[in-house]
Amino acid sequence: MLPEQDQEVDLENGLKHLAEQVAREHERAAHREQIIDRLHAENQDLRRGLLQEALTPVRSGLYRLYDTVTREATRRSAHDGDPVVPLLEAIAEEVAEVLARTGAERLEVAPGDEYDPALHRPVGTGPGEDGRVAAVVSDGFRLADQDRVLRKAGVVIGKAPDSAQDGAQDSEGNI
Partner 1 sequence: MAVHGIDLGTTYSCIASVDDVSRPTVHRNQEDTDTTPSVVFFETPENVVVGQTAKDSAVIEPDLVVSRIKRDMGHEVTRTMHGRPYTPEEISAFVLRKLAADAKTATGVTVDDVVITVPAYFGAAERDATRKAGRIAGLNVIDIISEPIAAAITYGVLNPGQDARILVYDLGGGTFDTTVIALSGGDIEVVCTDGDHELGGADWDDRLVEHLAERFRQEHPDVPDPLDDKQTEQQLRRDAEELKKTLSTRTRHVLRVMHEGRVAKVEIGREEFEALTRDLLDRTIEITRKTLNTARGKGVDGFDHLVLVGGSAKMPAVTEALTKELGVTPRLQDPDLAVAKGAALYAFEETYRRLLSSGDRTDQSRAEEMAARAGLSDGQRQEIAGRTIRTVASRAFGIKATASNTRREYVAHLVNANDALPADVTEGFATLDDFQTRVAIEVMEQAGAVASDVIEDNNKIAEGDLRIPPGKPAGYPIEVTFSLDASGLLHVTAKENETGERLELSVQIGGMSEEEVAESRAALSRVQVS
**Given the rule CB under 8 A, which residues bind partner 1?**
24, 27-28, 31-32, 34-35, 38, 60, 64, 67-68, 71-72, 75-76, 115, 117-118, 121-125, 137-138, 148, 152, 157, 159
Minimum CB separation of residue 175 from partner 1 in Å reads 26
| Closer by beta carbon to partner 1, 9 or else 22 | 22
d(CA 174, CA 170): 6
Minimum CB separation of residue 56 from partner 1 in Å reads 11
d(CA 36, CA 167): 67
Closest by CA position to 114, among listed 163, 160, 158: 158
| Closer by beta carbon to partner 1, 34 or else 44 | 34
Kindly report the number of other CB atoms within 10 A of residue 141's CB atom: 23
d(CA 75, CA 84): 11
Minimum CB separation of residue 59 from partner 1 in Å reads 12
User: Count of alpha carbons within 13 Å of 20, Cβ hemisphere only?
Assistant: 6
Q: What are residue 125's DSSP bridge partners? A: 157
| Closer by beta carbon to partner 1, 68 or else 102 | 68
| Closer by beta carbon to partner 1, 8 or else 42 | 42
| Closer by beta carbon to partner 1, 11 or else 50 | 50
Minimum CB separation of residue 5 from partner 1 in Å reads 31
The DSSP code for 114 is: B
Minimum CB separation of residue 125 from partner 1 in Å reads 6
Q: What phi, psi does 98 have (nearest 5°)?
A: -60, -45
